[in-house]
């Protein structure tokens, strides 16, 4: 029995005038979850994603990062990427022809089923369920806006999904992209090292997470709740659930109502602690 050709491993083979190893810090992996980012600031990545658990997972090949420099697809000698808004107004708008070329280049390197997302304050609110959906797929292509945004024809033409991380405005989509990537990457098996961590944290069941404590048992006159030191796992689990429900009801009524609707509960019922 002969050994399988080396091309049958995890590394992909693509035609290029320059070896892939010379273009990136690490080779592209054929089956690793891929975060692809179209941005005017490729040097902003990996940023914080290169640190701690996500950084170690990146080095270990559990996921990979592919930045696409939008400026390289710009018009003319100065590689212009924007122009004034049609109809007048302040600021500049990213050109559809420039973004279209960048998207075509980027998507040729991604699986067809990987979603194409534009980070936009008018998009659907990003949440834990969306993070899980993205994590379960092959990866995602993210478009980072700048200036006054992106020509709307591009969004319609490519069927781009618009996603927001909150009701506020940032200077660009890079910070939002890193937040989205972090939320998805940490759900990839083996990234955290303890799958139970993702099952017990905030939003995993539609609730905020229960309070956490650790040693010393007494700090500044404040003690760890006695039940957590009892060793009775059933009582501890019930206490944590009750605390999670209490915090969610107090701090996120919207989440509490949705949780009660799913579980057939009265959102105005008193909590039993």
pLDDT at 271: 60
**Mean local confidence (pLDDT), 198-208:** 73
pLDDT at 48 over 90: yes
pLDDT at 16: 46
CA distance 51 to 49: 5
Q: What are the CA-CA distances from residue 125 to residues 34, 111, 162 (Å)? A: 22, 24, 9
H-type helices in 28-95, by residue range?
52-59
What is the model's pLDDT at position 24? 45
| DSSP string covering 14-38 | ---SS-HHHHSSS--BSSSEEEEEE
pLDDT of residue 239: 97
- Residue that has been written with the tokens 């290169």 in this structure: 50
**Residues 177-181, mean pLDDT to the nearest whole number:** 98
pLDDT (0 to 100) of residue 17 = 45
> Dihedral (C-alpha) 146, 151, 153, 158: value to the nearest 10 degrees?
-20
Q: How far is CA 182 from CA 147, 188, 191, 233, in A?
A: 24, 10, 11, 31
The closest alpha carbon to 171, from 46, 75, 44, belongs to 44
Sequence-distant (≥ 6) Cβ neighbours of residue 243 within 8 angstroms: 210, 211, 273
CATH code of the region 201-263: 1.10.1270.20
pLDDT at 21: 39
For residue 205, how many other CB atoms are within 10 A of its CB? 16
pLDDT single digits (tens) 77-93: 999 999 999 999 999 99
Q: What CATH code would you report for 23-185?
A: 3.40.1280.10
Q: What's the pLDDT band for 198 if we cut at 50, 70, 90? A: low
Smallest CA-to-CA distance from 37 within 72, 68, 71 is with 68
> By mean pLDDT, which of 22-31, 95-104, 178-187 is the weakest?
22-31
Q: Note whether 70 and 98 are within 8 A (CB).
A: yes
pLDDT of residue 273: 53
Can you tell me the distance from the alpha carbon of 15 to that of 185, in angstroms, rounded to the nearest whole number? 29
Contacts of 63 (CB under 8 A, 6+ apart): 32, 33, 34, 35, 54, 57, 139, 185, 188, 191
Q: Calculate the dihedral angle through the C-alpha atoms of 37, 69, 124, 258, rounding to the nearest 10 degrees.
A: 30
Predicted structure pTM score: 0.84
Which of 20-34, 40-54, 56-70, 169-183 is least confident? 20-34
In this prediction, what percent of the chain has a pLDDT beyond 70?
Answer: 85
Q: Would you list the domain boundaries of the chain?
A: 23-185, 201-263
- Residues 169 and 226: their CA atoms lie apart, in Å, by 44
């Amino acid at each position: 029995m002969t050994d399988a050709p080396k091309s049958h491993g995890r590394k992909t083979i693509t035609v290029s005038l320059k070896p892939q190893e010379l273009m990136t810090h690490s080779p592209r992996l054929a089956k690793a979850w891929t975060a692809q980012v179209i941005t005017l600031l490729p040097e902003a990545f990996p940023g914080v994603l290169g640190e701690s658990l996500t950084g170690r997972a990146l080095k270990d090949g559990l996921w990979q990062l592919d930045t696409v420099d939008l400026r390289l697809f710009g018009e003319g000698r100065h590689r212009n990427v924007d122009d004034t808004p049609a109809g007048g107004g302040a600021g500049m708008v990213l050109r559809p022809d420039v973004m279209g070329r960048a998207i075509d280049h980027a998507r040729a390197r991604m699986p067809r089923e990987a979603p194409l997302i534009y980070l936009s304050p008018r998009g659907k609110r990003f949440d834990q369920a969306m993070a899980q959906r993205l994590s379960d797929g092959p990866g995602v292509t993210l478009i980072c806006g700048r200036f006054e945004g992106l020509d709307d024809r591009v969004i319609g033409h490519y069927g781009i999904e618009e996603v927001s991380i909150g009701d506020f405005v940032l200077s660009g989509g890079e910070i939002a992209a890193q937040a989205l990537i972090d939320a998805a990457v940490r759900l990839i098996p083996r990234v955290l090292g303890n799958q139970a961590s993702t099952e017990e944290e905030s939003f995993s069941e539609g609730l905020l997470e229960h309070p956490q404590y650790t040693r010393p048992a007494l700090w500044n006159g404040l003690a760890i709740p006695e039940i957590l030191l009892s060793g009775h796992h059933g009582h501890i689990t019930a206490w944590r659930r009750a605390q999670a429900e209490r915090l969610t009801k107090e701090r996120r009524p919207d989440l509490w109502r949705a949780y009660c609707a799913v579980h057939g509960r009265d959102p105005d019922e008193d909590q039993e602690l």
